[in-house]
Structure formats: structure tokens, C-alpha cells
Structure 1
Amino acid sequence: MNFLKKKIFNFLRSKRALKYFKLVFKTVGKLPKKKDLVVFESFHGKQYSDSPRAIYEYMREYNKEAILIWSVDRRSLKLFEELGLPHVRRFSIKWFLTMPRAKYWVNNVRLPNWLPKPNDTIYVQTWHGTPLKRLGIDIEEVHMPGTNTDKYKRNFTNESKNWNYLISPNRYSTEIFKRAFDYSGKVIESGYPRNDFLSNHTDQDIYEIKSNLGIFEDKKVILYAPTWRDDQFYSKGKYRFDIKLDLSLLQKELGNDYVVLLRMHYLIAENLDLADFEGFAFDVSKHLDIRELFVISDLLITDYSSVFFDFANLRRPILFYVYDLERYENTLRGFYFDFKNEAPGPLTMTTRETIDAIKGYEANGFELETHFEEFYKRFCYLEDGKATERVVQEFYQY
């Protein structure tokens, strides 16, 4: 039986199978569209999160006529079942009968290269961050597994040709997205729908999130949310990450007043062992949505992840733990602006420097840097809690 399962699994991943999948998808896609059907997907069907979640929740409340369905990876089916969300398993027979006939797709990452978008389907690409590190065809040399520089850029431009709308959080991002994605379609420069919650959350939301995580009310919260490294991986789509922060030292110096939440990027495959730091360090990598972690955090530690653009909406301190800055900037990705001088918070290279910076914030009442307001006005000016409404009104027609 295991042998048969393995044979079937290998076939489904073969080039021959992909040809059949493409043919079926293209054939079903020629049937009339269901004009009220919207299919959502977040991070390859693995999450109920990000801007697709915000758009789904808005439409569920205000567009009662719409049929809203999530495309879900098989490993995440239990989550969607527990949440009671309408869904279809990705690449199942039902999915092949649903996805091609939907009038609208709402997605935040690229779809599989083989998947042909029907001409009369409206594809809304929300993307998932304001760009600091270089994207798409702006990357000079690709170091990711399973691809090379030319193939990666070609796949990116082929994907962007399918987008009918691309959501942008600000003018800065719009200019980069158009070039990096080789995109000439409609841009909805609206702010990110996912950030509406940062403007609209309540004290009750904060209380409930902390309670569910087991965090005491008297503890300040530090969120550590690093990104992945292109050249550190186990296999395609599974990246390795070694935590350089010394949690023992953090606990020794800050444990009386703080807790630390560790949120790994969705591409990072590590399982964190925090048994020695019970009550101080929490692995929240699988928490439903990072926006909930933002609102309960007093301070963010990150590196080159775009999360700091979103967190800045809360006007709270941000530290950049960038022990590999020179390599990341000069070899792996490169940046779109002068990160060293324009980052909205101090850059640290060691755990000791990070602790000192946290204590420095604490000593001055968590007052932000003088140039933070300039950063906020450049990147956060559209985030007013109504981005989702603007997006839906732009793309959805019934």
C-alpha cells in the first residue's frame, strides 16, 4: 500500500501529470464564469491570514451575494475546518471544478507556473509586503534552490501578466512593483487591507489575544520576526534559520519584565525547542495571523523582513538585529533605500547591543527616533483602517 501511495505521489509531481492538470484547468476554464464566486488563497493555501483574509472578512459582512471559498493546502485543512471556513482542498477534483470557473481570485503570492488563468477571470494580487530587499527581476543573482536567475525572473514576469489588479501600500511600493514585477496593469494604491486591524483593534482584542497565548498582563511583549535567507535551505521551499539571538542572556537581563514571541517566516522549516525558556519565550510561528501579534507587542525586533513597515503603523519601537548585514546587502539581495541611515530604529549586531537598545528605549519612556515621523509619512500615510473597503470597491462588480 505504501508503495502504491508513493507511485501515485511521484506521478502527481511529474511533468506528465502537470500537462494533464493544465489541460483540465484550461478546459474547465472555458466554461461560463460564476460571476459571484471569489476564491481566496494565502501563502500557497497554508494560512488564513494577510490581506486575502481582510478582504474575505469584509466581503463576508458587506457583500452577502458573493460566494466566498478558500483554496487550502491539504496540510492546513484541519485549521479551516476548525474555523468553519468554506474551503476546497488545493488540487483536488473539486478544486479543478471550482478554481477555473471563479470570476475572482484573491491571492498574496505567486500561483503555480503551470496554472493557466482564464481570460475572463479577474485576478487580484495583494502581494505581502512593502519592499526593502530587492524583488523579482530587480534581483541581480538568485540563490534559491530549484531555480536559477533567468528562470526565476521569467517565471515572475509570466505570473504578473495574469494579474488584473495589484494592491500597493504606498507610492514608493507602486514604483518598485511596476518595475520589479514587469507589471503594466491596474494598481490599487490603497494601503494594505491586512493593516486595517492595526487601526481598528480594541483593548478587548489585546486582552483576548494575550490570554489565549498565556501571557500575563504585567509583562511587556517583544516580538522577534526575522525573514529567511535565500542561500540557507534544506530543499526547495524549506529554508533553514539559525537563531543568533542569545535567549539565555535575554532572559537573564529582561525576564522579570518581558516575554519574547518568536515568529519565524512561513518558508522557514525549523521546529523551535524552547523548553528551557518556558514562560519567557513563546514560539508563535504557527499563530493564525501576525497582525494579532503586532497589536500585543510593545517592541519589534526584526532584520530585513517587511514586517517593520506594517508594525510602524502602531508607532512603537523597532530594533533591527542585522548580524549579517554586509553579506545580505552585498551578496544575497540588496536594498531599495539606504537602510543603514533610514531604518526607523537602531541597528544591532549582537545580543548585548540589542539588550542595551531595549533598555535605552525603556529609560526614555519608549520614545521614538526623531526621524521616525519622516518614515511614517513616507510609508504609512494610506493606512487609515479603510484600505479593504477601497480595494473591494475597486475590483468587485456584481
Structure 2
Amino acid sequence: MKVVFNSFRGMYSDSPRALFEALVERGDDVDVTWLAAADRVGDFPAGTSTVEFGTPAAVAALEAADVVVSNDHIGFDWDKSPGTTYLQTWHGTPLKRIHNDVLWAPEGRLAYLDTEIARWDALLSPNAVSTPRFQKAFGFTGPVHETGYPRNDVLSSPDADRLRAQVRAELGIPEGATAVLYTPTWRDDQVFNAADGGPQHSFPLDLGEFAAALGEDHVLLLRVHQMVSDRLDLASGAPIRDVSSYPDIRFLYLAADVLVTDYSSTMFDFAVTGKPIINFTYDLEYFQNELRGFYFDLAEAAPGPLLSSSEEVLAAIAELGRVPWVPTERYNRFHEAFCSLEDGRATERVLQLFFPAGPPGPTAAPTHDGKRS
């Protein structure tokens, strides 16, 4: 069986990575090829077969595959062969409207993406809330499997504490420091209407000043969306650790003590950890009512209050340092609605659906660099 994996245009990450590592651990007789971005080949484990993303070799690999596993639109043209199964894992619970449901998109973009959706044979869903929204937004009539996301299994792993310590040491986070992970989402208009044709991103605050205001006992980890990560320009010497190029965000969830985000789907994944989430929603009305639109009222459903200024965010983080964190009723409702399937066994469920050969059962936890524990 020939299997081609892809994650975020050639990264070694996310649910495709979790499924691949489980197949390796189980010892399945599969011929695996990864699509790899030229600058990310070093992230893949030694001995992994890769072809450069977007090249004729990548097209040939996809067209010869028995199974294709991807977590996003692949983004270049290829012809799906008869008999090939394309499993689309997708990459998040949608708060923001997606595909056909968005309020605005550049001309021709949705029609182009529809050609990719037409190749899908099955789609994974992280929860019952997301399933009908995926079906409608993508116009997808094939099977949608509510399995939870394989990528999130590590967050419930018995090895989570060891992995947390390992990643914090790698990032240079001092013992006892509070790691604040900031994951702002991208703005469609900034990306597609950029004057020079490339993706742009602006922040509602001075990141250096914000990081300094957190204090010496805090570390700010900045993870911008992959749509804009190539345009990040931080001042030299800013007290920030840019983790935008870190191969797999799920290990950053383990390393972090608190998440600050706006409308990113990272909040749904981070909630699996039970650690605090702060929503910095400075442009809520514009994003919700004009730019992208939401599937539900964030103010009602969010795991905590929505904050509109950096001063409020700093105060909320400081408060977390004064009293032990205990999940609130709001937080627990959020977790119940969106994380009920994130029990550490999503990978096992997906393997039984699409790769049933081999004995069932949980797999060994990966390390952050892809080696097995």
C-alpha cells in the first residue's frame, strides 16, 4: 500500500504526523511518502521518504498513491487516480466561517478550492458541533467521521509531563517561569489585499513592550498563523521567543501555561489541557460582522471573558499568578461542547477506520522531534 502524507503544505506536523507515527509504531507494511517543503525537510525523522512539495515528483507521488492523508487543501494541481482514497483530516474546530460560508473571499479562490474538495473521500471531525458546519461549508456529501483529532492525543498522554519538560528545556524556558503562548489568527484582507502581493500581518500592540510588561518570571511564545509566518518582523532583542516555525504546535501546548488568542482554533485544542485561555478580541465587531463571520456567539461560548485591550490581558495574566487556576463553569461548558472526543484515542479510532490491519490498541507517545518514546 502506497500512502502519501501532507500537512500544511509540506510540514511534519498535525494529525497526519500522528497517524504516520502510529503506523510506524505498529509496524505496518506500507510504502510512505511525505510531501515536504524545501526548508522543512530536516524536521522529518531520518530515513523518511520525502518529495518536495509542489514539484512534479509530488504530483507523481499523489497520482500513484493508494491513500492520501492531508490536513489542508494541498494547493497544487494533480489528478486523483481511480481507487485512491483521500482522507482529509482538516485542522481545527471552526469558530470562523470557512469556505462557502465566509463573508468575503478573493475572486476565484473558493472555486479553485472546490476542485480539491471534490477529491476527498472522507473527512474527520473533532466533535458533533463541527460536523454539520463542515458538510455545509465544503459542500461535502461523503462520510464525516467524528473521531476527535489524532494530533491532540499527546495532550492526554501519560508522557505529557516528560514532553512538557523536554520542550521547555529546548525553548530555554526557565524553571518556574510562566510560558504565555500567543496565537493570533490571520486576517483575510491583510493577506489577500497586500500591496506587494505577499501576506502581511499587523499586531494590535507592541509585542516587545507587552513581553516586557509580563515581567521576568514570564516568557512570551509567539506563534503566528502559517499564512503570515514568513512576514513576521520582530525588533532585535525583543524579549520574545518566536515559535512560528516550530514544527508541531501540539508540543507548544504542553510547554505553555496559558494561551492568549483571538479567534484561532488553537483555543479548542488547548482546552484539552485544562489550562487557562484568554481571548484578546480587539477587533471583534469587524472580524465577526464584516471580514470572516462566526458560526456562533463567541461572547457566549468562549472559555472566559473577551478582552479588548493589552492592559486587560496583562491584568488577567497577573491574576493567574496570584491564585491557583481552577477551570470555571464557562470553561467546563466549552470543554464539554468541543473536547469530548479528545480522550487520547483518536489515532486508534482513525487507524481502525482506514488502516485496520495490525493489532488495535494505543500507540507509544512521540517525542517532540518525532522519535518514539
**What's the TM-score once normalised by structure 2's chain length?**
0.89
Pairing partner for 1:260 from 216, 220, 236:
220
Indicate yes or no: 2:334 matched with 1:369.
no
Pairing partner for 2:9 from 21, 44, 47:
44
The unaligned stretches of length 5 or more in structure 1 are 1-35
Q: Which amino acid aligns with 1:67?
A: D
Report the Cα distance in structure 1 between the residues aligned to 2:18 and 2:290, rounded to whole angstroms.
Answer: 35
- What corresponds to 2:152 in structure 1? 195
Contact 1:274 1:281 in 2 (8 A): no
Q: Which amino acid aligns with 2:184?
A: P
More deviation in 306-315 or 157-166? Answer: 157-166
Contact 1:41 1:108 in 2 (8 A): yes
Q: How does 1:305-384 map to 2 (within 5 A)?
A: 305-384=264-343
- What corresponds to 2:189 in structure 1? 231
CA 104–388 in structure 1, closer or farther in 2 if over 3 Å, else same: same
1:274 CA displacement: 4.5
Pairing partner for 1:101 from 64, 76, 80:
64
Pairing partner for 2:97 from 108, 122, 134:
134
Q: Describe the superposition over 1:81-133 as per-residue Cα deviations: whole angstroms up to 9, x where unpaired.
A: x7542211234454344321110000011123632211210000011100000
Q: Describe the superposition over 1:187-211 as per-residue Cα deviations: whole angstroms up to 9, x where unpaired.
A: 1110001000111133221111111
**What's the TM-score once normalised by structure 1's chain length?**
0.84
Q: Which amino acid aligns with 1:305?
A: S
Report the Cα distance in structure 1 between the residues aligned to 2:55 and 2:120, rounded to whole angstroms.
Answer: 24
- What corresponds to 1:273 in structure 2? 234
Q: Describe the superposition over 1:354-393 as per-residue Cα deviations: whole angstroms up to 9, x where unpaired.
A: 1111122333312333211111111000001110111121
Pairing partner for 1:87 from 42, 50, 68:
50
- What corresponds to 2:36 in structure 1? 72
CA 350–69 in structure 1, closer or farther in 2 if over 3 Å, else same: same
By relative contact order (CA 8 Å, sep 6+), the higher-ranking structure is 2
Indicate yes or no: 2:264 matched with 1:301.
no
CA 267–248 in structure 1, closer or farther in 2 if over 3 Å, else same: closer
Q: CA RMSD in A?
A: 2.0
Contact 2:59 2:77 in 1 (8 A): no
Pairing partner for 1:61 from 21, 25, 33:
25
CA 327–88 in structure 1, closer or farther in 2 if over 3 Å, else same: same
Indicate yes or no: 2:138 matched with 1:174.
no
CA 105–254 in structure 1, closer or farther in 2 if over 3 Å, else same: same
Say how many residue pairs are matched: 353
Report the Cα distance in structure 1 between the residues aligned to 2:261 and 2:349, rounded to whole angstroms.
Answer: 30
Contact 2:3 2:32 in 1 (8 A): yes
Report the Cα distance in structure 2 between the residues aligned to 1:237 and 1:164, rounded to whole angstroms.
Answer: 34
Contact 1:346 1:357 in 2 (8 A): no
Q: Which amino acid aligns with 2:232?
A: N
SS at the partner of 1:275?
A: coil
Q: Which amino acid aligns with 1:257?
A: D
- What corresponds to 1:153 in structure 2? 110
1:153 CA displacement: 3.0
SS at the partner of 1:52?
A: helix
